[in-house]
Amino acid sequence: MKPREGLYYLLTLPSVYRLFRTIVRGEACRIYISEYVRPVPGEKVLDIGCGPGDILENLPDVDYLGFDINPKYVEAAQKRFGRRGRFFCGDVGLTAIDQEAATFDLVLATGVLHHLDDERAFSLFNLARRALKPGARLVTYDGCFVAGQSKLARFVVSRDRGQYVRESAAYAKLAAQVFPQVRSFVRHDLLRIPYTHVILQCGTVGSFSSGCTLPRRSETQLPSATDGL
Ligand SMILES: C[S@@+](CC[C@H](N)C(=O)[O-])C[C@H]1O[C@@H](n2cnc3c(N)ncnc32)[C@H](O)[C@@H]1O
Beta-bridge partners for 89: 68
Q: Which of 58, 115, 161, 191 to mutate to test the pocket of ligand 1 (most atoms within 8 A of CB)?
A: 115
| Ligand 1 close to Cβ of residue 68 (< 6 A) | yes
How many other CB atoms are there within 10 angstroms of residue 117's CB atom? Answer: 12
Torsion sign over Cα 137, 26, 192, 74: negative
**Using one digit for the tens of pLDDT, what is the confidence trace for 129-188?**
999 999 999 999 999 999 999 999 999 999 998 999 999 999 999 999 999 999 999 999
How many CA atoms within 13 Å lie on the side-chain side of 210? 3
* CATH homologous superfamily, domain 7-204+217-228: Vaccinia Virus protein VP39 (3.40.50.150)
| Ligand 1 close to Cβ of residue 142 (< 6 A) | no
Nearest CA to ligand 1 atom 10: 112
**Ligand 1 centroid, distance to 177 Cα (angstroms):** 22
Element (H, E) at 176: helix 168-176
**Using one digit for the tens of pLDDT, what is the confidence trace for 163-173?**
999 999 999 99
| Ligand 1 close to Cβ of residue 117 (< 6 A) | no
Nearest CA to ligand 1 atom 2: 111
Confidence category of residue 118, pLDDT binned at 50, 70, 90: very high
pLDDT at 5: 62
User: What are the boundaries of each domain within the chain?
Assistant: 7-204+217-228
pTM, 2 dp: 0.89
**Ligand 1 centroid, distance to 109 Cα (angstroms):** 8
**Spacing of C-alpha 211 from chain mean position:** 21
Confidence category of residue 9, pLDDT binned at 50, 70, 90: confident
pLDDT at 6: 67
Q: Percent of the chain scored above 70 by pLDDT?
A: 88
E runs forming strands in 26-127:
44-48, 63-68, 85-89, 104-110
Q: DSSP states of 204-216 as a string?
A: -TTTTSSS-PPPT
How many other CB atoms are there within 10 angstroms of residue 71's CB atom? Answer: 10
Residue 208 has pLDDT above 90, yes or no: no
